Amino acid sequence: MKVVSLDPRVNRLPEISGIDSISRKAPLDQFGTYEVFVQPKEGKPFQHEGIVHAPNLELAFLLAKETLTRRFMCSSIFVTDTRNVFVSPTTENDQNVYDLIPSAGPAQGNARPYEIFHLFKRGKQHVHAGQVAATSPQEAMWIGGQSLRAGKMIYNVWAAPTDTFRFTRDEERDLWLTLPEKKFRDAAAYKAGDKLKTFLEKK
Amino acid sequence: MNTAALKELLYKMADDQLILGHRNSEWTGFGPLLEEDIAFSSMAQDKVGQSYALYQLLHALGEQAPDTVAFTRNAPQFHNCQFVELPNEEYDFSLIRHFLFDTAEAVRFDMLTQSRYEPLAQLAKKIRGELRYHTLHANTWIRQLGSATEESISRLQAALDKAFPFALGIFEPSPFEDQLIEEQLFAGEQALRLRWLERVQTILAETSLHLPDVTLTTPEFGGRNGHHTEHLQPLLDEMSAVFRIDPTAEW
Amino acid sequence: MYGGGTIFENIKGTELENEDPGQLAAFEARIDRGEKIEPRDWMPALYRKQLIRMIEQHAHSEIIGALPEGTWITRAPGFKRKMALMAKVQDEVGHAQLLYSAAETLGKPREQMIDDLINGKSKYSNIFNYPAFTWADSCFISWLVDAGAIVNQLANAKGSYGPYCRALDRICAEESFHLKYGHHCVIYLATGTAIQRAMFQEALDRWWAPMMHFFGPSDNISAHTETLMRWKVKMATNDDMRNQFLDMYVPKIWELGFTIPDPNLRKNETTGRWEYTEPDWDEFKRVINGDGPCNKERLAVRRIAEERGRWVREALQSKQNVYVTPLA
């Protein structure tokens, strides 16, 4: 079927036979998801910004950059496969989730580093709390409860092994260098008050 | 400073970026994956933004304002290489072009950080992060699709074969080559081509793709002198369709 | 960009009586306290189903909404407009990405949603089934359709589902650029040449009826709607949102000296409500059911995009890359 459109781009699209009869997308036509964490400014904590669909970690990093950090400020991002993130229950009111996490018992094998994330308020984003070394995700959460709680009310915890992340490399820090200058994506660049005023005065 | 040589350099760079940015923006909303749609659009925006910055440098050197220069000239007055004006075709060709062109652009701007023309050197330093992203993006996709399935490899190979003579057209020598080098404004197309070829080959060596033999390929020259394919004028007519309704109007 | 519409009708088979009364009470108490529901919380099946449907339609409206404005992406006049329109259409794709992600947390995979879209099983905002004939149409969309969407989205951002609210917070921040950019474009047309003014007046004449349809027909306030409002899924009635839009934007359109093609449009100062000619809801139904000027084109373009991108996605499929429900 050839589409005829007011959009010249659409008129240039190739003719694809059988486009009307496509019944389903191929069942496998689906990538996994990666959780994306963004640091808005040097020195600020990373926070969860959303997900991207990607075929692998490297492409997830690449695609996350424009999907979730093409506005405002960003100094660094990191991403990990959704399947690497272990999630605690979510509590409410004055129930600190850490009080529900049991001690993991005796160590099972070698410890590895985990990144820990906290939810301080329902409806907000998870915020990076720090790193712990543990032999299991549950132990990582338990240790997080000891070392990263900092007297705060926490409703949900995520733990993910550090070696599963794609971090921003030092030499990649300049990826966001011109971000603050991309004013054309910013409402503030579209001021027409003076033009409007002159027009109204003439009217 | 040889202003004529400098202007020639700035015009061809600006025209390249504008035309390819325009072409790449055609993918917005039609990309193969939502996230890639967004990424490709950002890079198109970067390109148009870079062309704007270059036209501003030209404006400071006495040329007309960026909008006038970009939206009112006809094809014979454009100095872009023919490579950037070719239609997008399928994503295979668009990606290969992005890889070949952006690698050249990244090397060119890297060389220009040393330019004696300070405003250009400043610009080159400022946009290094954008260029890093463009090449990271291109390299990652080419590495992955260039060694994935039979279909993706053969698609990219066919696109590469078609694109290569046009890609060599990027390096069409300027009539001012010697002056540019002598005055240290730019180290020249020949030096750029050598570094480009090395980078392109390094990435392709990690894939199942093969670069056509440079010595057996005739570059598609002409664009730098205003000789274009039949694709450029319709592109310009389309780009300026609204602007030309009334070029004196403010839109 | 999304308005209201028919999304809350005809949900069957999710009777509240089948829910556990204790869990239901705790769920409702949480919403009453103003707390957000997070993906792994217990929730009634009706809540989940309605939210998926609403967020999915919202996402589809963004990805399809990229098309009418995309009509002018290669023809935007001048650098400033060219850069802005590229970024704006890109944002619509980005909003779809964010909204699909939010809907995914409720258990429906993105590819299934896209599949339902291109097979005509899911709806999207009716307004995008109309064509953008001139540059001024794209300006109308950027300014006023986005303005309508903001009315709707600001309301929904106060809803009860955490991931949807987070997506909407981001989206609303980006929409402020769309709105300002759109208004900027229209001010330039309004204060420009006779040709420019006429262009926008014609666009306004074309788009006013779809704009009035945008928020959907008056709601039938059933027990069902009341439940959804209590659960903060539906945040305002369609009429309230339409009224709010008219209140904010009719004066701005009039201020620019344009004529809105409805002789009965006026604000009743006693009631504080706007009065207008009742929109043609038969046309609305006809268009939403597939018989609008651009329905076929919009879906065909999405299908072609999916089909052309297939080899890219297939090439990078691997057994190691497995889809699971995203977290938040």
Predicted confidence (pLDDT) at residue C152 exceeds the cutoff of 70: yes
- Whole-angstrom distance, CA of residue C64 vs CA of residue C158: 25
> What is the Cα–Cα distance from B141 to B94, expressed in whole angstroms?
12
Range of the domain at B57: 3-245
Contact criterion met (CB < 8 Å) for C177 and A185: yes
Tell me what pLDDT residue C40 has: 93
This prediction has a pTM of 0.96
- The answer to whether residue B206 neighbours chain A at the CB level (below 8 Å) is no
Angle between helices B128-145 and A57-68 (to 10 degrees): 140
- Domain locations in chain C? 21-218+235-315
Residue B240 forms part of a structural domain: yes
Chain A hits for C316, CB-CB cut-off 8 Å, are 31, 55-56, 59
Q: Please state the φ and ψ torsions of residue A12, each to the nearest 5 degrees.
A: -90, -10
Considering the segment(s) A31-172 as one domain, its CATH architecture is: Roll (3.10)
User: Which chain C residue has its CA at the smallest distance from A198's CA?
Assistant: C191
pLDDT-derived band at C6 (thresholds 50, 70, 90) equals very low
B90·A14 Cβ contact <8 A: yes
Could you give the CA distance from residue A79 to residue A66 in angstroms, rounded to a whole number?
Answer: 13
C-beta atoms of A62 and B132 within 8 A: no
Mind listing the pLDDT tens digit for each residue in B164-200? 999 999 999 999 999 999 999 999 999 999 999 999 9
CA of A51: which chain B residue's CA is closest? B35
Query: What are the boundaries of each domain within chain A?
Result: 31-172
C151, C157, C211, C260, C291 from C248: Cα distances, Å: 10, 19, 14, 14, 31
Residue with tokens 């072409």: B23
- Residue B167 CB coordination number (10 Å): 28
For residues A49-65, give the mean pLDDT. 98
Mean pLDDT of B83-106: 98
Buried b (16+ CB within 10 A) or exposed e, A125-159: bbbbbeebebbbbbbbbbbbbeebbeeebbbbbbb
CA distance C108 to chain A (A): 12
Tell me, what CATH number does B103's domain have?
1.20.1260.10
Tell me the pLDDT tens digit for each residue of A135-160: 999 999 999 999 999 999 999 999 99
Whose CA is closest to C305, among B121, A16, A102?
A: A16
Question: To the nearest whole angstrom, how far is the Cα of C84 from the nearest Cα of chain A?
Answer: 6
Domain C21-218+235-315, CATH number (from 3.40.710.10, 3.10.400.10, 1.20.1260.10, 2.60.120.260) = 1.20.1260.10
| Residue A111 burial (C-beta neighbours within 10 Å; 0-12, 13-18, 19+) | middle
Q: Is residue B88 part of a domain?
A: yes
Q: What's the confidence (pLDDT) of residue C195?
A: 96
C316 dihedral zone (left: phi>0; alpha: psi -120 to 50; beta): alpha
Rounded to a whole number of angstroms, the distance from the CA of A13 to the nearest CA of chain B is 9
Give yes or no for residue C3 having a pLDDT over 70: no
| pLDDT band for position C146 (cuts 50, 70, 90) | very high
ipTM score for this prediction: 0.97
What's the average model confidence in pLDDT over B59-77? 98
Pick from A83, A74, A154: nearest CA to A117: A154
